[in-house]
Amino acid sequence: MNLPAAVLWDMDGTLVDTEPYWIAAQNELVASHGGTWSHEQALQLVGNSLVDSARILQAAGVALPEEEVVEWLLDRVVAATREVTPWQPGARELLTSVAEAGVPCALVTMSYERFAEVVVTQAGGALSVVVTGDQVTHGKPHPEAYLTAADRLGVAIEDCVAVEDSVPGIGSAMASGARVLAVQSHVPLPVLPGLSRATSLELVDLATIARLHAGEVLEIS
């Protein structure tokens, strides 16, 4: 198989189903400041940088500085994930098989390092590079995070496959020049030229990754 030089993985919604933790934390925070927060509003934050999300929460009535909003949310989500890490179906197995095939893997997330560490620790050494939202200047959908991951791995981004679940993340990965697989999670996946889509990582294997690297655009369901 003609495997890629690296596979670059988003975290929230892609490897782990932590979006319900984020949404619960947002609800609690907004309510504590006397505001209201709908499920539809929460879904609009999926894939955003934490600072961008903090600004939207401020507009919903949260009377805290941006960084305090970010740290408040992180405290709740990190604690919940330490208690139960909800791996997406097939995600841990695919990550392990890719790493065991000798393909370097990077985590590319807009969550901060102290949260990413919880997932990286449980990945058993499969994730050799980690790029987090507090390590980049521009959050997704800007391509900086994916370009940084490829640079740290010492590979060409065009020789990488990225796995994402959100619209900002998909935009970031595609703008970087990587081949992109979008996996269904909490938000509808866009239909875009060159974008492959899957309903679950349970349906994806090493052969699929090789086909994506070769340039095939797949609909997997």
- Hey, what domains does the chain have and what are their CATH numbers? 6-17+86-220 (3.40.50.1000), 19-83 (1.10.150)
Residue 206 has a pLDDT of: 97
- Residue 90 binned pLDDT confidence (cut-offs 50, 70, 90): very high
In this predicted structure, the answer to whether residue 180 has a pLDDT above a threshold of 90 is yes
What would the mean pLDDT of 155-174 be, rounded to a whole number? 97
In this predicted structure, the answer to whether residue 170 has a pLDDT above a threshold of 90 is yes
Residue 1 has a pLDDT of: 82
Segment 40-86, tens digit of pLDDT? 999 888 878 899 999 999 999 999 999 999 999 999 999 999 999 99
Q: Cα(36)–Cα(47) distance, rounded to whole angstroms?
A: 21
Q: Distance of CA 170 to CAs 99, 147, 195, Å?
A: 22, 14, 8
pTM equals 0.89
Q: Which residues contact 77 (CB under 8 A, 6 or more apart)?
A: 18, 21, 22, 25, 111, 115
Q: What percent of the chain has pLDDT over 70?
A: 100
Residue 97 has a pLDDT of: 97
What would the mean pLDDT of 202-219 be, rounded to a whole number? 98
Q: What percent of the chain has pLDDT over 90?
A: 93
User: Rounded to an integer, what is the distance from CA 193 to the centroid of its chain?
Assistant: 21
- Residue 22 binned pLDDT confidence (cut-offs 50, 70, 90): very high
Query: Does residue 95 contact residue 15 with C-beta atoms inside 8 Å?
Result: yes
- Residue 190 binned pLDDT confidence (cut-offs 50, 70, 90): very high
Residue 158 has a pLDDT of: 98
Rounded mean pLDDT of the chain?
95
Residue 30 has a pLDDT of: 96
